[in-house]
Amino acid sequence: MLITNAKLITWEEPNQILEDQAVLIQDDLIVEIGPEASLVNDYTGEERIDARGQYVMPGNICAHTHFYGAYARGMAIPGPAPKDFPEILQKLWWPLDRSLTLDDVCASAEVMILDAIKHGTTTLIDHHASPNAIDGSLDVISDVVQKSGVRAVLCYEVTDRDGVEKARAGIQENLRFLKKVDEDKKQSRKVRATFGLHASLTVSDSTLDDCVSSAPRGTGFHIHVAEHEVDQYDSLAKSGMRVVDRLHRRGILGPNTIVAHAIHVDAREVSLLAESGTWVTHQPRSNMNNGVGVSEVESMLRAGVPVCLGTDGFSHTMWEEWKTAYLLHKVWHRDPRRMNGIDVAAVAAYNNASLAGSFFPEAPLGILEPGAFADLIFVDYHPHTPLTSGNLPWHIIFGFHESMVTTTIVAGTILMKDRILLTMDEEEITARALRQAPQVWERYERQFRQ
């Protein structure tokens, strides 16, 4: 496949914006990039896709999401509104995740992935919970991922909050799926696994030890950390240690582990995250919505912590998350110099690419260069001021919208062309989710009242 008439945003270091380019894709890789005239001459027999002068750039990557959250949209929480994050967990998320059947897990993955393809997100790192449908839940999501054609990293959130048996079932689901992905190389070309844990506050030391001792060597973990102060109070009461110290002591941290949020961490915890090479993900829209505070992203970056950007199950519109990160830190610190566009790009483009690449090491991700995975999007953006590699982050923050994404390609397969979805039937998928929603909400109400 030869993409012609393209303006490229390569996200190399340093980034390049190149005009009148063509991109040759063979199988799932970018094979050659160069001036259109010469590639068109050299590859006369290739199927052509005319980008019509649009920007062609690497697909966006979401470092932390929850597909299972799809049914929360528009759902009423009975009684007084939750007053803080612990109440949001107890009144919203826990009764909701307990309401999900495998059919609902499937429907929520479908609508979330559909949203990702439409809005140019090509790799997603999911964190799944469905305590009354644990066994096989990762297979259900994996099937949706494979049919849709996106790239994803999956895990199940182990927790003690529903009892020892369900904690064990969660561990088994992670182990089973890790093994399956490892054995099934065809499937695992676009699906990878990690080991999920809900959060320090819902896992005992013995559960943490069971996870570490049962996971294959080198497996990383994906866990919420210090999203609210309550995680610290719980950890101090349980172990006499702060959350990051506790996880470090129990062998959870490391260069394959993802820690979501890290808002209420102290300087020692930040240095432990940096020394261990642990990834941290920032989800500013979710943090604002939950009123949990703001993580010290700039300080963590200076300390050497690889901070990435996720959506926490909000829509898979990564540039909205860029914009929120850019704005939030300014108002929080009352300083318009904070979290500049370069910092946002460092987190959302470069660090997200490195994190995704660590799960798919066969070829680079998040970059347009020969040899990289052919995960790319076309963006129908017409700047009215000069767009350069230097000011691109500000064009993205102030000018780009996900509705400008017209074509989405993952691993050389076209998933959306000129806004027409080729692997998913939007009408059918949304109709199915909508049909199931009243039952999910009814079960949620019953769970809520228990």
Residues comprising the chain, all counted: 450
Indicate the SS3 state at residue 99: coil
Q: Which of residues 258-277 bind Zn ion (CB under 5 A)?
A: 260
| Interatomic CA distance for residues 57 and 76, integer angstroms | 39
| Interatomic CA distance for residues 83 and 283, integer angstroms | 20
Please, are residues 98 and 343 in contact by the beta-carbon 8 Å criterion?
no
- Residues with Cβ within 8 Å of 378's Cβ and at least 6 positions away in sequence, in order, are 6, 51, 54, 55, 56, 405, 406, 407
Residue nearest to Zn ion (CB): 312
Please, are residues 355 and 101 in contact by the beta-carbon 8 Å criterion?
no
Number of residues that bind Zn ion (CB under 5 A): 2
Q: Which is nearer to Zn ion, 178 or 263 (CB)?
A: 263
Cα Dmax for the chain: 69
* Amino acid code (one letter) for 90: Q
Q: Which is nearer to Zn ion, 4 or 108 (CB)?
A: 108
Q: Which is nearer to Zn ion, 245 or 312 (CB)?
A: 312
Asked whether position 126 contacts Zn ion by CB under 5 A, the answer is: no
Closest contact distance (angstroms) between CB of 334 and Zn ion is 28
Q: Which is nearer to Zn ion, 231 or 312 (CB)?
A: 312
Closest contact distance (angstroms) between CB of 127 and Zn ion is 6
Q: Which is nearer to Zn ion, 56 or 260 (CB)?
A: 260
Please, are residues 244 and 269 in contact by the beta-carbon 8 Å criterion?
yes
Residue among 107, 86, 151 nearest 440 (CA): 107
Please choose, out of 79-87, 256-264, 338-346, 422-430, the segment that lies near Zn ion by the rule CB under 5 A. 256-264
Asked whether position 227 contacts Zn ion by CB under 5 A, the answer is: no
Closest contact distance (angstroms) between CB of 312 and Zn ion is 4
Closest contact distance (angstroms) between CB of 261 and Zn ion is 7
Closest contact distance (angstroms) between CB of 316 and Zn ion is 14
Closest contact distance (angstroms) between CB of 229 and Zn ion is 17
Q: Which is nearer to Zn ion, 173 or 312 (CB)?
A: 312
| Interatomic CA distance for residues 367 and 363, integer angstroms | 10
Asked whether position 312 contacts Zn ion by CB under 5 A, the answer is: yes
Q: Can you name the residues that pair with 62 across neighbouring β-strands?
A: 124
* Amino acid code (one letter) for 84: D
Please choose, out of 24-32, 148-156, 162-170, 308-316, the segment that lies near Zn ion by the rule CB under 5 A. 308-316
Q: Which is nearer to Zn ion, 171 or 260 (CB)?
A: 260
**14 preceded by cis ω (within 30°)?**
yes
Closest contact distance (angstroms) between CB of 310 and Zn ion is 7
| Interatomic CA distance for residues 86 and 228, integer angstroms | 8
Contact residues: Zn ion, CB under 5 A: 260, 312
